[in-house]
Chain A
Amino acid sequence: MDKSDIECINAYLGGDANALEPMVEKYKRPLYSFILKMTEGREDADEIFQETWFRALKNVHKFKHKNFLNWLFRIAHNLVIDRARRNKKNVSLQSSMGGEDGDHTLEDHLAAPGISPAEEAGGTALGKQIEEAVETLSPEQKEVFLLRMYGNVSFKEIAKLQKCSINTCLARMQYALGKLRSILKEEYEELQEAMP
């Protein structure tokens, strides 16, 4: 775990009420970006973001993981699933895991219609294409992809989180990249042509 994280947590447990502020600041973007992509928009994402932290605060004395952000992702992952179940959808993230990677499950509806990173970056055509490609992924594929992109979470950790093998996670990521490949290929060719 990051040394500064350990110091912050120890200071907080020692009674410094503001000690976790730098950690909230540090992790708010990757965590929120992940949640936003896995839920139904900013309002939901804000709620889950808060709930994730509330749970983390409640259990911070039990924290024994190597990586705090991974722990937050794990909590957020569970909350996203809980919310989907509460919304009376039929299929859970976990239950569709045995299915083919092209399967579309209930959580397909969880795709965030909010502003994408690419759109925020300037609303480029490439950004929109990538966004659309990500939205066509199954929830599991999308989750693997987003955890890698936003959190740099290892495949070993993702496998634990999704309760599957590393090979399954790798296959999901391969599938996601396959979707993006054709889009990015054009962009790369343009970039390479533009470069002297």
Chain B
Amino acid sequence: MKCQDAEKWILLEDSGELSEKQNNELAGHLQRCSACQELQDTLIGAQDVFQIMEEPSAVAVQNVLREARLNAPRKKPLPIFGLKPAIAMAASAMIGLGIFFSVFHPDKVGMEFVVTETQLLSSEDQVVSVMYNGLSEDDLAFNFLMTYDGI
């Protein structure tokens, strides 16, 4: 390998742009060539020096962050992509059914609210009412006799 090529390969190795095969070839050359080894050392030395970096002013950074906040896209709405049309269709169907029944079966529209006489009683009275409901006067008299202690 020529030193001219090796110098380029040293740079490409440093940037991670050299294949494994080329890396091995370069390593072999570097073991034999002090001039190329020196170039590699220079590169490493330069990297050490330039590790320390400058910082922008605090104002500049704040301006960037403020601009980022101002330019931030609006939050996306909840993902109900498939639900929207489904809800609309269900609502349409219900309205349609309502119209249908109100025209063809007006008697079936709405709910009947029935309260029986028993339901209006207190819970204790309801039990008594259920027990005696439907019994004739003779039955009631019989019940009375059966439960009478006869003091």
A residues near B (Cβ < 8 Å) are 12-21, 24, 28-30, 32-33, 36, 42, 45-47, 49-50, 53-54, 57-58, 61, 114-115, 117-118, 120-121, 126-127, 130, 145, 148-150, 152-156, 167, 170, 173-174, 177, 180-181, 184-185, 187-188
Contacts and interface: CB of A to CB of B under 8 A. Distances in A.
10 closest A-B pairs by beta carbon, nearest first, are A15-B75, A17-B72, A149-B50, A29-B53, A184-B45, A33-B53, A117-B52, A53-B64, A17-B69, A46-B60
A54 B64 contact: yes
Contacts of A148: 11, 14-15
B1 interface: no
B53 A50 contact: no
Contact of B56 (A32, A155, A181): A32
A57 B67 contact: yes
A173 B11 contact: yes
Given A24-B61, A154-B17, A15 B71 contact: no
Interface stretch (B19-27, B34-42, B84-92, B102-110): B34-42
B6 to A, nearest CB: 11
Given A154-B15, A177-B43, 4 more contacts: A15-B72, A24-B65, A181-B42, A184-B42
Dominant secondary structure of chain A at its interface with chain B = helix
A170 B54 contact: no
A29 B49 contact: no
B150 to A, nearest CB: 86
Nearest to B54: A33
Contacts of A15: 72-76
A17 B68 contact: yes
A30 B65 contact: no
B121 interface: no
